[in-house]
Structure 1
């Protein structure tokens, strides 16, 4: 069944509250996905530096072993490394050679991505989501109906820089899409169909499509039923398949745009009583970009 949420802030005064608002939205979706949960937050970032979010064990000494210019923040089972952008290939090569047990699950200037097995309230607490600030974020609560309950199967999925996706639904052509995308240099770490959708969008963006254009194309190229909520460095978007059998609701004010699988995920947002609340139309792309 699964639950998905997203929050895009127009008003910078709300940025310190992004994490606490997103955490509340995720916790409300617990009964739609009690097995595992995850979220991505787009924070301030540092000019000229890249962040990698890494999952694994024995994380405390990783940054020191890589080099003096590498910063590190450990949050439970995840580590966020920060380093000059021109060192990304060097850092990835070190990780592959010296710590192949670690999994890179997110990369970019602004994105941090966290996911684990457990009830959503426990997962958000473990990673300290309520204390995180940023401009936008997305999240997912999973009910594993077609595969095992694992952290690898949890959302969001990220296959491109500062890009991630959460998905409610099922794709019937994900195997053929995977075979098409892998020769294009899109790598996959799991067998999850949602990771293939993320890879498809990463490929489209890399080829020069805007986020809105990539999602328009997805309506013809992704076969199945789906609701996608997508984050990029500066954008936030939602699209549903032409049938739209999965529930979805959105709310927009002059301060934010919010998405939830159900309206109750949105009731804790400030000023929700004055929001324009609507059901996103089938096969229509909704996209917003943050002010530069």
Structure 2
């Protein structure tokens, strides 16, 4: 099961309503699995202030005040800490890799939920309805959001096992399905020096994609490599601060639907998650084809069939 949703807003007039729309989408998918949930929001000025880098820490063993004081002293610049449920959202006028390195050095065993610019990642154990209420998701703003509600099959029900997996700068992945050869790929990535935070199969795919992107591939190339490397049944949504992409496995076993208007692009595991979006009655709506990457950016809209 599991339910995934994503919303990419083309119209700036809708940016103040991102959280409200995303919350409706995510909570509609709750009966596909409600043991844990998570979101990634791009562009909220409170969660990820303009001109600041952000890092999400999940369940750090320290108070917000201690984290802020420790990292501010380390970096020599103020670090703000917002607490949302079990997630601490750090922000500072520093390079995201520098902020991340300082956080990992000070708290080496903490789970990093995500990092980058304009990105806030929140995740935890519980239903998306309860978590969205505690996060105040309906009040969030921005141009893009991704969400996931999980039915655990591959690893424990913990914040570390919740999606999104946001392991590269500004990147995140949500997944419905399972990979049958993830253990082999995990061993190969570990041998290449890649570290893991969980035993979840989705993290393997997220780190595989992040590795390909870091090596210079674009998202279509990275997801093409996923289809050639991973065995199993899956629908994946991969995003960064400027793009939003969807791909399914060779037999398209896991459900997915995409809708597109001049004002937004959205995808979900089921149409009912899209039914409340403004103008959906006039949207182009389709089921994504097997092994076809559908990708959009903030400047252009593209589809690329895999070779």
Matched, 1:23 2:23: yes
Rounded to whole Å, the distance in 2 between the matches of 1:63 and 1:257 is 37
1:185-204 deviation line (CA, Å, top 9, x unaligned): 43210010000110011011
Any conservation in 1 of the 2:19–2:139 contact (CA below 8 Å)?
Answer: yes
Any conservation in 1 of the 2:37–2:148 contact (CA below 8 Å)?
Answer: yes
Residue 71 (structure 2) aligns with:
66
Rounded to whole Å, the distance in 1 between the matches of 2:287 and 2:95 is 43
Any conservation in 2 of the 1:53–1:104 contact (CA below 8 Å)?
Answer: yes
Residue 238 (structure 2) aligns with:
230
How does the TM-score come out when normalised to structure 2? 0.89
The change in CA–CA distance for 1:216 and 1:96 in structure 2 (over 3 A counts) is: closer
How does the TM-score come out when normalised to structure 1? 0.94
Unpaired runs of at least 5, structure 1: none
Aligned-pair CA distance for 1:93: 5.0
Residue 43 (structure 1) aligns with:
43
RMSD: 1.8
1:54-102 deviation line (CA, Å, top 9, x unaligned): 111543211123214212222122111112334744x445544543453
How many correspondences in the alignment?
Answer: 291
What is the correspondence of 1:273-292 to structure 2 with a 5 Å cutoff? Answer: 273-291=281-299
Q: SS at the partner of 2:138?
A: helix
Rounded to whole Å, the distance in 1 between the matches of 2:93 and 2:203 is 27
Rounded to whole Å, the distance in 1 between the matches of 2:154 and 2:104 is 30
Rounded to whole Å, the distance in 1 between the matches of 2:107 and 2:204 is 25
Unpaired runs of at least 5, structure 2: 301-307
Any conservation in 1 of the 2:71–2:102 contact (CA below 8 Å)?
Answer: yes
Any conservation in 2 of the 1:240–1:282 contact (CA below 8 Å)?
Answer: yes
Aligned-pair CA distance for 1:123: 0.9
Matched, 1:253 2:256: no
Residue 128 (structure 2) aligns with:
120
Any conservation in 2 of the 1:56–1:101 contact (CA below 8 Å)?
Answer: no
Any conservation in 2 of the 1:9–1:15 contact (CA below 8 Å)?
Answer: yes
Match for residue 107 of structure 1 among 105, 115, 123:
115
Residue 84 (structure 1) aligns with:
93
The change in CA–CA distance for 1:270 and 1:59 in structure 2 (over 3 A counts) is: farther
